[in-house]
Structure 1
Amino acid sequence: MEGSSILHSFTNIYFAIFALFCFKLLIKISLALLTHFYIVKGNRKEAARIAEEIYGIVPGSWADRSPLHDAAFQGRLLSLKTLIAQGFNVNLVTTDRVSALHEACLGGHVACAKVLLEHGAQVNAATIDGITPLLNACSSGSAACVSVLLHFGARAQPGGHLPSPIHEALKRGHRECMETLLAHGVDIDQEDQQHGTPLYMACTYQRTDCVKRLLELGANVNVGKRSDTPLHEAARKSSVEIVVLLTDYGANPKCRNADLKCALDLATPNSKVEQALLLREGPASLAQLCRLCIRKQLGRSCLATVPKLHLPEPLESFLLYR
């Protein structure tokens, strides 16, 4: 009898907690609907007051997507200009700190992004996940958005643990975005703790065009992710075209990673990658050694310097891998 009474008391407590939870959830949903109603009606002051008191965010922030976010994401330039003219704050953010500028860049809408920036949108605003408008532009592949953001002061190479725009561009295979970032001073051998160097990232996602361009621009062919080189990754991914490119640009096939394995050890047995690596196990030709030596001396300026040397066309083409 006593045990049954205790069980009944616990059941009542659980029901009370559950009822309280449901009541709080109902209030929150009601307030969210009320806030949205005020947005639609244009009563931004009342909406901001609710957001500040209930959601604990400062005025000018937002607890949900606003019409400004939708217009920016969908590329509706006229609607965006109208909303700004009505007094909408261009730096309104969602609970995840996503701004209208983030949305415009994710959609690749350069005209909308430019309007927002001209009206004071924060160019380096980051979401709770550290995503910046520049990262979104690189994800969408909009080189035009990347250029506009950089013109308005976006950090091309964010510090700390923020995601790297150039690595995002390479992951998606957006070569033009990558080149724009490099032209604005991004370190071509910048090593990300998670993804390695840009060249290593391009090898990971088998972006052959990007790999070739990075090598042309002077990327260090033997620097990857800690002791793992780009050649290790290309062999692991069974990408014979990239393996050939890397070795032609001087990748060392004898480099060993943390597991004491060279690229050949990672190649699938009897594969084209294994054959390509076996062919390059011996000493390089004298012509190849001379080319690598000259390119090493010229460094990253090689692509711009060689044409100025007025060499015979066949020799110039050889040095530039044309």
Structure 2
Amino acid sequence: MGNITKRGSRDLVVDNAKSLEDSPATTLHAKLYEAIIKEDCTTIKALLRNHPVNQPLTILTNSTNCRLHLSQHTQSIIPIHLAAEYHKAQSLLCLLEHGADPEVRDTWGLTTLHLMLLHWPITSTPWTKPGNRIQRILTDIQNNAVMCLRILCEHGAQVNARVDNSNKHSPLHLAITYGTYPVLSILAQNGAQVNAINESSMTPLHMAADTLNKEMMETLIACGANVNCAVSSTGNTALKLAVCTASSKAGRLLVAGVSCIRLLLSHGAKVNAQDHEGQTALHEACFGGREAIINLLLEFEANVNILTKNLESPVYMYLQRSSNIRDATLLARLLHHTYPLRLTNKQGILPAGLMLPEFHLLRETLLTLSQKPLSLEDICKRNIRNMYGEKYKHKLKQLLPVKIWNSVYCCYDLAYLLK
């Protein structure tokens, strides 16, 4: 039979890669790839005579596998996608002028605009000082990306085209997801629908509020975002989402969250809007127990007496957690705005936190209060507090005699019940 040498699959792969590497098509693709990266428009124009502008380039790339063997694999990318991903403005313009279609999609259902947003440069670095060399380089990269985006929009890119996947994100949704703040106003100026919803019925403002991104929220509101739009599946507004996220924060993150909430309220967010369960932003804030958020909502006339579908008041939500109950001052402030005091839900169940043995005395006291009708004088005082809210509390102090003001705004002393 003679000596027959069996060739392994690895040898065949190497031979196939070598034959592909030596082919005229691969050489052409490699040259066009290099020209796009180098922004050599003269070469790009010449090479496009032999390569359709919207056809993918097949490039051989080297990689090291887990056994430390150098291997080659192919990468396929459409020329305009390559220019967009690497923010090569001159190459992008050249390709568009020679018939490149900005709406051509890759295998993941992404258009050129989608890919540009996914590869947007991150230039915010805490370790760079303004004016130094690194910061200048980062600024140049950012400016190149902005230039590419403007070129793409000027050449008819669909700024409302959805990603062809389960999320159905619009370009604005993608910008929020990947933190590409500078693109929001450019997209809006070119016709992006600022109140567009994704597959989860969330607008870009919902997403920005959910992550407490104030810069994006400010830009979206300036571009006409509806601050009172509700998520169809839950009824959540941007305000409620921001309160929910901020309530889990502390320190500087809590301060940033309060700033986002104030931004929404200052631009007309309805403080007493209810979701599908009947909860308001104050219900969420009371469950979280963050005094700064609760005070802010009260300042903007949040109603302490709204009940959910399960007949739970904000005070009920506050009493669910033992850590909240220990803040006697805040509890007293909430009680002073509440009438009638309802301590049970629709099923007659008391809040979980209030059922702990350590709060036995407080529980009995509150149950007594809930069963005792207020006097006409107390009802009038409560109405004044609810009508003017925390916002005008100090203005009233200048107008009313000290004795009357103190009688209206004095708080229950609950501290002794928590010892």
TM-score (normalizing by structure 1): 0.70
Residue of structure 2 equivalent to 1:66: 115
Aligned length: 281
Corresponding residue for residue 103 of structure 2: 48
Q: How far apart are 1:175 and its partner, in Å?
A: 2.0
Q: Distance in 2 between matches of 1:321 and 1:134?
A: 39
1:165-197 CA-partner distances (Å, limit 9, x unpaired): 111100111222222222222221111014711
Deviates more, 1:105-114 or 1:129-138: 105-114
Alpha-carbon deviations, 1:148-169, whole Å to 9, x = none? 2122111111146164211110
Change (3 A) 1:113 1:217: same
Question: Amino acid of the residue matched to residue 85 of structure 1?
Answer: R
Query: What residue number does 2:395 align with?
Result: 307
Alignment of 1:190-205 (within 5 A): 190-194=273-277, 196-205=279-288
Once the two structures are overlaid, the 10-residue window that deviates more, 155-164 or 183-192, is 155-164
- Any stretches of 5+ residues in structure 2 without a counterpart? 1-57, 59-74, 84-91, 125-140, 247-256, 412-419
Query: Partner of 1:292: helix, strand, or coil?
Result: helix
| Cα offset, 1:275, TM superposition | 4.1
Q: 1:36 to 1:141 in 2, by over 3 A?
A: farther
Output one character per residue of 1:33-78: Cα deviation in whole Å (capped at 9) or x when no partner: 7456541144574462456xx88x8xxx739941223317777742
Residue 9 of structure 1 aligns with which residue? Answer: none
Residue 150 of structure 2 is matched in structure 1 by 85
Partner of 2:383: 293
Distance 1:208 1:145 in 2: 26
The answer to whether structure 1 residue 185 and structure 2 residue 268 are counterparts is yes
- 2:393 and 2:375 map into 1 onto residues whose CA distance is 24
C-alpha contact 1:167 1:195 (8 A) present in aligned 2 = no
Superposition RMSD in Å:
3.8
SS in 1 for 2:349: coil
Q: Distance in 2 between matches of 1:72 and 1:98?
A: 20
Change (3 A) 1:261 1:253: farther
SS at match of 2:196: coil
Question: Is there any run of 5+ residues in structure 1 with no aligned partner, and where?
Answer: 1-29
Q: Taking structure 1 as reference, are residues 175 and 276 closer, same or farther at Cα in structure 2, changes over 3 Å only?
A: farther
* Counterpart Cα distance in 1 of 2:347 and 2:120: 51
Identity %: 19
Structure 1 SS opposite 2:384: helix
Q: TM-score w.r.t. structure 2 length? A: 0.56
Choose 1 or 2 for highest CA Rg: 2
| One-letter code aligned to 1:179 | R
Amino acid at match of 1:229: S
**Which has a greater percent of helix?**
1
Residue 260 (structure 1) aligns with = 348
CA distance 1:195–1:98, shift in 2 (3 Å): farther
2:118–2:178 CA contact under 8 A, matched in 1: no
Amino acid at match of 2:381: R
> 1:83 corresponds to which letter in structure 2?
C
Q: Distance in 1 between matches of 2:301 and 2:162?
A: 40
Evaluate the alpha carbon distance shift between residue 35 and residue 314 of structure 1 in structure 2; reply closer, same or farther with a 3 A threshold.
Answer: farther
The residue aligned with 2:225 is: 154
Letter in 1 for 2:395: P
